[in-house]
């Protein structure tokens, strides 16, 4: 190899590789070191970015988790808070819904709120478009008996009112809460279960009269008419109230009688 003399410093730029005895230019080696340094810096930078990214992802996951937990806690607290509010104030009827009647209930309505959480879901009833009439389907059972049934753990049905064999009226839950009686119309109806002496499902005279009075009172409270009386049958096709599904004329007569009661006040 010819070494060209390039001035006094040129010699210093050469040294012998200890491994192979090959002379290597010092400048090349320095460049190599710089290159290695660059690669190393790149590796470090990439590592730093990767760590930063994973930290950010972790933080995001943590935030999402915390957010979800907070939302769940808020929802639970809210529902319990609302329920507690309603249970604590049994006489109140105007706290939840939009235009709910604030006039006190007449003394012939016996308010006995149920506290069975399977049936009393505490879902607000915010509008009342119709009154839904049912029959209890258990001949000879009393209003109190049916109310206690609604209040049994594991039973997941309940109505706002039960009209008994003697004409007694028990109210099981406030008017501003949804009942569980009328399928998809739970959300905008007040439900009335009616007791009956036998299998036909026909209401006795005294029960009938009490039902008419109750329906008329509710119509006045919510600005409805006798035309807003519906049967469970009209919603789901269920044969309820049995006699008044099988006897259309009896159903029409019931609505008429509610209309007369409404007009007479």
Binding site residues, Zn ion, CB under 5 A: 134, 232, 240
Tell me the closest approach of the beta carbon of residue 116 to Zn ion, in angstroms. 18
Task: Let me know: does 129 contact 223? Beta carbons within 8 Å.
Answer: no
* Range 94-131 burial, b when 16+ CB lie within 10 A, else e: eebbeebbeeebeeeebebbbebebbbbbebbeebebb
Tell the smallest beta-carbon distance from residue 231 to Zn ion (Å): 8
- CB nearer Zn ion, residue 230 or residue 258: 230
Residue 209 CB, nearest approach to Zn ion (Å): 21
Q: What are phi and psi of 119, to 5 degrees?
A: -105, -40
**Least spacing, CB of residue 107 vs Zn ion, in Å:** 27
- C-alpha distances in angstroms, 188 versus 4, 77, 181, 194, 236? 103, 25, 12, 19, 15
User: Of 96 and 194, which has the nearer Cβ to Zn ion?
Assistant: 194
Cβ proximity to Zn ion: between 134 and 185 the closer is 134
Residues 143-173: b if buried by 16+ CB within 10 A, e if exposed: beebbebbbeeeeeebbbbbbbbebbbbbbb
128 or 194: CB nearest Zn ion: 194
* Identity of the residue, 211 or 240, whose beta carbon is nearer to Zn ion in the bound complex: 240
CB of residue 161 vs Zn ion: minimum separation in angstroms? Answer: 13
Element of type H or E holding 229: strand 229-231
Per DSSP, 158 falls in state B
Asked if 122 contacts 88 with a C-beta cutoff of 8 angstroms, the reply is: no
CB of 240 to Zn ion, least distance (A): 3
First to last CA, the chain: 126
Shortest gap between Cβ of 72 and Zn ion (angstroms)?
Answer: 35
Q: Classify burial at 17, counting beta carbons within 10 Å of its beta carbon; exposed 0-12, middle 13-18, buried 19 or more.
A: exposed
Nearer to Zn ion, 90 or 137 (CB): 137
Nearer to Zn ion, 232 or 255 (CB): 232
Residue 24 CA to its chain's centroid (Å):
80
């Amino acid at each position: 190899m010819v070494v060209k003399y390039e001035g006094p410093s040129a010699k210093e730029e050469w040294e012998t590789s200890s491994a192979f005895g090959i002379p290597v230019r010092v400048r090349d080696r320095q460049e190599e070191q710089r290159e290695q340094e660059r690669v190393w810096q790149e590796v470090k930078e990439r590592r730093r970015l990767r760590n930063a990214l994973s930290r950010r992802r972790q933080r995001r996951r943590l935030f999402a988790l915390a957010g979800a937990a907070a939302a769940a806690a808020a929802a639970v607290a809210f529902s319990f808070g609302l329920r507690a509010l309603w249970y604590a104030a049994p006489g109140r009827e105007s706290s939840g819904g939009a235009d709910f009647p604030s006039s006190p209930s007449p003394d012939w309505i016996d308010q006995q709120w149920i506290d069975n959480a399977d049936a009393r879901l505490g879902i607000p009833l915010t509008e009342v478009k119709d009154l839904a009439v049912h029959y209890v389907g258990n001949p000879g059972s009393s209003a109190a008996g049916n109310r206690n049934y609604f209040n049994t753990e594991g039973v997941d049905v309940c109505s706002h009112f039960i009209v008994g064999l003697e004409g007694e009226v028990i109210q099981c839950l406030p008017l501003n809460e949804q009942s569980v009686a009328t399928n998809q119309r739970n959300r905008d109806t007040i439900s009335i279960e009616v007791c009956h002496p036998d299998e036909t499902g026909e209401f006795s005279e005294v029960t009938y009269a009490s039902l008419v009075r109750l329906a008329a009172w509710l119509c006045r409270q919510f600005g409805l008419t006798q035309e807003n009386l519906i049967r469970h049958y009209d919603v789901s096709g269920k044969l309820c109230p049995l006699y008044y599904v099988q006897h259309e004329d009896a159903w029409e007569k019931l609505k008429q009688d509610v209309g007369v009661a409404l007009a007479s006040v």
